[in-house]
Chains A and B, each alone.
Chain A
Amino acid sequence: MKSYHLDHLDFLETEAIHIMREVAAEFERPALLFSGGKDSICLLRLAEKAFRPSDIPIPFLNVATGHEFPELLEFRDRRAKELNGRLIVRTVDEALEKGIAFESPGQISRNQLQIPVLLAAIEEFRFDACIGGARRDEEKARAKERFFSFRDSFGQWDPKNQRPEIWNLYNGRLNPGENMRVFPLSNWTEMDVWEYIGREKLEVPSIYFSHQRRCVRRGGQWVPDTDLMPSKPNEEVRDLIVRVRTIGDIISTGCVESPASSVEDIIVEIAAARVTERGSRADDRVSDAAMEDRKKAGYF
């Protein structure tokens, strides 16, 4: 008798496919947030598994800060085209021009500015569900996140008013103006994501692999030295062999010194890592509750 047993990636995969199909079946205008980063790359593969041989019935939405790594944008556009998907891009720069978003003086990261842009895109296309690649292992406030995360008509998350999720039964009912954020990768860890990328032989942007880059030391980590925020004479600048572990704004994404040049190398590196991936994102280090505050305001 053959053993009918799923390994951990098979289990995470079938759970995520189930959620993708629930979204396609129960919502009228869902969107899938696709940045070109490793988590959303997994989402696209799961969407293929959920919906092929049909077209993926959900458009891809990217809220771009305008401070992206160029390699990421090239990859994003190419991948969407390969999958014959519809890609919608809304940018922080456009939103600043239109007066939807406002820069706060001295604020380097444009992470915060993605919130009004995302909310405006939801309103423009009347999206009732946005599928995102967030994972519970990323951060403490995320550990309590639901698969179906209910947002009120202001896009806000109320951690005290979340719907209980029991078995595999998800309650997607909404009143007009309300919105659901859906996280099929909730139970995945950083390691699971890379193991899945390896197993499925998925292409990822080159910046995840080791490359040479001019970096500047800021806030205890190496960040890319770019024209957006050029290094000052008193700052330490070096040419390093680095890779990025998590992709945010180019000016605040920490580069880790690494020789990892393949997915297998990255898996070995993570297995030995002693710092969590968000440890390299300056936006989470502002305060202990930084993520909680952004989520309450409507962040992904």
Chain B
Amino acid sequence: MTHASQKQPVDLLRFNTCGSVDDGKSTLIGRLLYDSKSLMEDQIEALERSADITGGGQVNLANLTDGLRAEREQGITIDVAYRYFATPHRKFIIADTPGHVQYTRNMVTGASTANLSIILIDARLGVIEQSRRHACIASLLRIPHLVVAINKMDLVGWSEERFLEIKNQFEEFLPRLDIKDVKFIPVSALEGDNIVTPSPHTPWYPGPPLLGHLESVHIASDWNLNNFRFPVQWVNRPNNPTDPALHDFRGLSGQIAGGVVNVGQKVMVLPAGFKSSVKQIWTLEGSVEKAFSPQSVTLVLEHDLDVSRGDFIVDAEDLPGASSDLTAKICWMNPRPLQPGRHYFLKHTTQTVKAIVSSIENKINITSLEKDEGITELGMNDLGEVRLKTSKPLIYDGYATNRLTGSFILIEPGTNATVAAGMLLPPAEVARPEYRDFAI
């Protein structure tokens, strides 16, 4: 291969932005795309063409992110839009969510896969309710990194005092949140200060510009690499293989949801409790000695066991929790409110079970994280803690330990709508094998 493919491997950072056009969010994204030279001539032309038609001749960077005609006509953003750009150091995926009515639902969606979240604060207004709401959702979804971009600094005369004042306002609120890494950056998205290049107006700010921070923030430890978890997705059993070596091949395919797996490792299949060890880690390129989350692989075990989709293969010495009585924080996403007693389908990793919401414990105030009790229903965009009962025990971890084995969605029977996103609280007890006598 020549130089083009031999360059330093680049990794991928996923971040989300949230807020309304007034915060300068679209301008900020437009600025990142434009200044990192990620916009093409025809996109800029299309932007200018629509400026001539609807914008009275003024180029509106929001047209880059507000893609659908319905949105342009009504001047609103319906949903999460994804944008892509790259620098020589990193590739970026932006989940851009609007800041109106369906805010919480969309932000939860965009935040669920993000490594980092950017909160925009208007330097003239300081920390407002929306900034707190944004930070709370980022914390509940456990986004590892937060950037507080204090925007429109040009309109407050590039005042360091004002910057520090807002930073202090925000930091007062931080102890309530569960975010490891917070970075404050003074910017002007409109003028391009501290977005891609350092601003001459902020000699008092020693840190990198926004893009420099996005390029260097450490994301390697954002995945769980401690507890081996493998939800079986698909049983890989060749029909009439031409290669005789594959006659008895029985592979278990899936994406590693946590930890590292090695050939020879002792594992347990749950819920049954069969013990075995890993004989082979099969990939198209050949067998490998070890694999880690979130790689997709095919495992072959030493013993020919009855294993199917929805079963879990885990480290025999490090078992997850199991229960059919669950407590979870959920975000309700449907116009029809959640009422206790209703039946839903619950999809968790690779299995779908029936579930009933037995009670609503509280509703979480998403601007303060305080809990309101005595609640009878959760409406669209509400977050709250609920108790659930499932038709069979779930094998799981707390969401705080593992985003993939600690999350679920609820699906409404009949309409098949996805009505809730759920984050499980830590399990009260460790999984106990169903059939102890079967241990090999």
Contact = CB atoms under 8 A, between A and B. Distances in A.
A153 B241 CA distance: 38
Interface in A128-172: 136-137, 140-141, 143-144, 159-160, 162-169, 171
Contacts of A195: 5
Contact of B296 (A21, A143, A174): A21
A274 B37 CA distance: 9
7 contacts: A4-B292, A14-B295, A55-B239, A164-B418, A164-B421, A187-B82, A189-B86
Contacts, number: 187
Interface stretch (A32-40, A45-53, A117-125): A45-53
B9 interface: yes
A24 B255 CA distance: 14
A97 interface: no
Nearest to A51: B236
B417 A163 contact: yes
Contact of A292 (B11, B69, B251, B345): B69
Given A25-B234, A141-B68, A4 B11 contact: no
Given A12-B12, A171-B418, A198-B4, A54 B239 contact: yes
Given A24-B234, A144-B68, 7 more contacts: A3-B220, A4-B293, A140-B67, A143-B81, A169-B348, A186-B82, A189-B86
A21 B253 contact: yes
Nearest to B73: A289
Contacts of A186: 82
A137 B64 CA distance: 12
Nearest to B93: A187
A297 interface: no
Interface of A: 3-8, 10-15, 17-18, 21-22, 24-25, 48-55, 136-137, 140-141, 143-144, 159-160, 162-169, 171, 173-175, 186-187, 189, 191-192, 195, 198-199, 264, 267-268, 273-276, 279, 288-289, 292
Contact of A267 (B5, B50, B284, B411): B5
B57 to A, nearest CB: 17
A198 B9 CA distance: 14
B225 A14 contact: no
B418 A14 contact: no
**Residue among B68, B78, B260 facing the most chain A CB atoms (10 A cut-off):** B68
Contacts of B4: 198, 264, 267-268
A52 B40 CA distance: 39
**Chain B binding surface SS class:** mixed
Contacts of B2: 264
B284 A49 contact: yes
Interface in B52-87: 67-70, 78-84, 86
B164 interface: no
A166 B407 contact: yes
B199 to A, nearest CB: 27
B145 interface: no
A184 to B, nearest CB: 11
Nearest to B102: A164
A6 B294 contact: yes
B5 A198 contact: yes
B439 interface: no
Given A6-B294, A14-B294, A164 B68 contact: no
Contact of A198 (B1, B82, B108, B241): B1
A167 B40 contact: no
Contact of A4 (B12, B46, B260): B260
